[in-house]
């Protein structure tokens, strides 16, 4: 009997993964993996060490690059996983909302209010650019949590934008597909100089 061969719990894995930090390469616009339809995970897969380790690496990667969300296809895994970390001290966005940290498996969006809400979106897979996109203001997201239990959240405005943006990645859709006005697409420097109110 070798005790260290016993499966690690989520919490133990979390502790271990903090020591073995892995920052993954982020696929950039033009990479075909960003255009594929990602597949659902089974409950067994969600609870597996491999997937839990991938989630930890996704969170490390998102933190490293200052993202508010990251979807598995962005780190070259075509599966329906998205992580969110909305914190007021985010370096890339001015955030007024309270902190949200979520891991979502097999998530699906239902629009609750399709009144358009506009936001200058960025994406770790579209490096150095911002574009103005309008999306439905209020949505519900049904998903499985880290224990593969069904959950749902309702979100509006900025949180609804982040959720829709991340879950679009799972369908091979990028925010650049949804630019309503090509003049509202800019490099970060020009965005900050000419487009921030
Ligand atoms: Ni993105």
Q: How far is the CA of 65 from the centre of ligand 1 (A)?
A: 12
Strands 126-144 and 69-71: unpaired
Q: Say which of 166, 189, 190, 197 is annotated catalytic.
A: 166
Domain span at residue 166 reads 3-195
The angle at the Cα of 52, spanning 147 to 56, to the nearest 5 degrees, equals 125
Total number of domains constituting the chain = 1
Task: Express each pLDDT in 29-58 by its tens digit.
Answer: 999 999 999 999 999 999 999 999 999 999
The confidence score (pLDDT) of residue 6 equals: 47
Q: Which parts of the chain register pLDDT below 70? A: 1-19, 98
DSSP code of residue 66: T
- In CATH, what number is assigned to the domain containing residue 106? 3.90.45.10
- 166 given a catalytic annotation: yes
Q: Is the dihedral of CA 174, 34, 169, 119 positive or negative?
A: negative
**CA 7 to ligand 1 centroid distance, Å:** 33
């Amino acid at each position: 009997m070798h005790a260290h061969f016993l499966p690690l719990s989520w919490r133990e894995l979390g502790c271990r993964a903090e020591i073995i930090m892995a920052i993954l390469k982020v696929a950039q616009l033009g990479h075909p993996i960003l255009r594929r339809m990602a597949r659902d995970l089974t409950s067994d897969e969600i609870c597996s060490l491999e997937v839990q380790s991938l989630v930890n690496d996704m969170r490390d990667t998102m933190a490293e690059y200052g993202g508010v969300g990251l979807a598995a296809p962005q780190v070259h895994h075509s599966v329906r996983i998205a992580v969110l970390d909305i914190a007021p001290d985010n370096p890339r966005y001015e955030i007024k909302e309270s902190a949200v940290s979520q891991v979502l498996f097999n998530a699906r969006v239902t629009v609750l209010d399709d009144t358009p809400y506009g936001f200058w979106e960025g994406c770790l897979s579209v490096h150095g650019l911002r574009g103005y996109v309008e999306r439905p203001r209020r949505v519900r997201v049904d998903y499985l949590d880290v224990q593969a239990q069904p959950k749902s959240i309702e979100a509006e405005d900025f949180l609804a934008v982040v959720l829709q943006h991340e879950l679009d990645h799972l369908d091979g859709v990028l925010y650049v597909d949804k630019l309503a006005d090509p003049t509202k697409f800019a490099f970060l420097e020009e965005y900050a100089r000419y487009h921030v109110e």
